[in-house]
């Protein structure tokens, strides 16, 4: 509701969005509202410039995937 009111409050306003996660959906996306990008700055450039720390990914041990695959393998599809 806020965005709708903001957009309708001044149809001639210049709109600029700053986002790290643009909206991309079937109904609409960020470019539909704000137009083309005026600047982009990517994660790897931010790391190289020293502004962002590199993410460290750690796998969490789980047997969920194995149990799921076993359950799926046990299902017989009737034709």
Where the chain has pLDDT below 50, the residues are none
- Please, which residues have CB within 8 angstroms of residue 32's CB and are 6 or more apart in sequence? none
For position 49, what pLDDT does the model report? 96
Tens of pLDDT, residues 40-52:
888 899 999 999 9
**pTM score:** 0.41
For position 50, what pLDDT does the model report? 94
For position 79, what pLDDT does the model report? 62
For position 19, what pLDDT does the model report? 76
CA trace torsion 22, 28, 32, 37 (10° rounding): 20
């Amino acid at each position: 509701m806020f965005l709708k009111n903001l957009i309708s409050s001044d149809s001639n306003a210049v709109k600029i969005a700053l986002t790290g996660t643009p909206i991309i959906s079937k109904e609409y996306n960020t470019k539909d509202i704000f137009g083309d990008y005026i600047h982009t700055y990517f994660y790897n450039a931010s790391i190289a410039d020293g502004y962002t720390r590199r993410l460290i990914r750690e796998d969490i041990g789980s047997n969920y995937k194995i149990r799921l695959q076993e359950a799926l393998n046990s299902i017989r599809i009737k034709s």
